[in-house]
Amino acid sequence: MEAVTSRESAFDDDRWWDPDGFLFGMHTLLEPLRGSYVTATLRGAGATSGSRVLDVGSGGGFLAAALTAAGYDVVGIDPSLPAVHDAADHVAASFANAVGENLPFANGSFESVVCSEVLEHVEDPSAVMAEISRVLRPGGVFVFSLPNRTLLSRLVLIDIAQRNRFTRVLPKHLHDWNRLIGSTDLRDLAQRHGLTVQEVQGVSVGTRDVPRALLALVDLRRRRISYGDAGSKVQLRLSRSRAIAYVGYALKTRS
Ligand SMILES: C[S@@+](CC[C@H](N)C(=O)[O-])C[C@H]1O[C@@H](n2cnc3c(N)ncnc32)[C@H](O)[C@@H]1O
């Protein structure tokens, strides 16, 4: 079978677990909060450990690793073949090369689906949402996390982290402002495909932790610390403000 290809070359990498790469920085930055939010949400929605979870856009398997550690039977898909291989080398789950717009699974075959930091990179978010809904069983849970589409997220994620030559630490075209999905638009998109959003929470750095986060950014820019170390110095938490990023979940309420 011909390999599916990824539009995002930054993700066509087989070194997701290399502490010096920005991809691993995403892991150390996101995982403490994301891993616990996603597993607690799955459990709260009745997805018991041992049940099947589909991770759409699984990348190097960071979230799959947290879910596997929590006892879930995880299947990941990703259009990047190097990412799929890297994930399989590091995580005891199954990974396949596929796109979210065309999931190679039967209707209703998963109790839960997770999709984290992916919908803002796909060609057709509506087609991916339709597929997520199709493979979920009725009443199943869909957990998502994304950057928001606000002026502040544009300043922080795009202008500071990607564009400004004095501050950038991420690949220049990693996020495209026009493809970011606001939390209200995500809610509408999910609803159109039979997924009713139950909760959306903001994700941010606490005010007291901002100096530590800025220091980590400076140290990373000066190459005093690795991406892995920088990510672990920035503490994310759930917050009322969704200005930068958000997490949440939906239930499949109709086919
Ligand atoms: C920012 S990474 C997130 C990886 C992983 N979900 C995580 O949070 O660690 C975005 C991922 O989306 C994948 N991706 C891009 N287009 C996709 C598509 N159409 N369907 C599924 N995944 C896609 C990329 O290959 C990449 O692995």
Closest CA to 80 of 107, 98, 92, 61: 98
Indicate the top mutation candidate among 9, 116, 121 to test ligand 1's pocket, ranked by most ligand atoms within 8 A of CB. 121
Closest CA to 57 of 15, 30, 17, 87: 87
- Stretch 107-131: mean pLDDT, rounded? 97
Å from CA of 153 to ligand 1 middle: 19
pLDDT, tens digit (0-9, with 9 covering 90-100), for 32-41: 999 999 999 9
**pLDDT-above-70 percentage for the chain:** 97
pLDDT band at 60 (very low <50, low <70, confident <90, very high): very high
Closest CA to 60 of 21, 7, 33, 2: 21
Bridge partner residues of 251 (DSSP): 141, 196
Residue in the block written with tokens 């005891």: 92
Measured CA to CA, the distance from residue 61 to residue 86 in angstroms comes to 8
Mean pLDDT of the chain: 94
pLDDT, tens digit (0-9, with 9 covering 90-100), for 167-208: 999 999 999 999 999 999 999 999 999 999 999 999 999 888
What are the Cα distances from residue 211, in Å, to 49, 217, 240? 38, 10, 20
- Stretch 123-135: mean pLDDT, rounded? 98
Q: Which ligand 1 atom is nearest residue 115's CA?
A: 6
**pLDDT-above-90 percentage for the chain:** 93
CATH of domain 9-252: 3.40.50.150
Nearest CA to ligand 1 atom 10: 118
pLDDT, tens digit (0-9, with 9 covering 90-100), for 69-108: 999 999 999 999 999 999 999 999 999 999 999 999 999 9
Closest CA to 212 of 203, 225, 202, 201: 225
pLDDT score, position 9: 75
Query: Ligand 1: which residues within 6 Å by Cβ?
Result: 6, 8, 11, 56-59, 62-63, 78-80, 83, 99-101, 116-118, 121-123
pLDDT score, position 6: 47
Å from CA of 8 to ligand 1 middle: 8
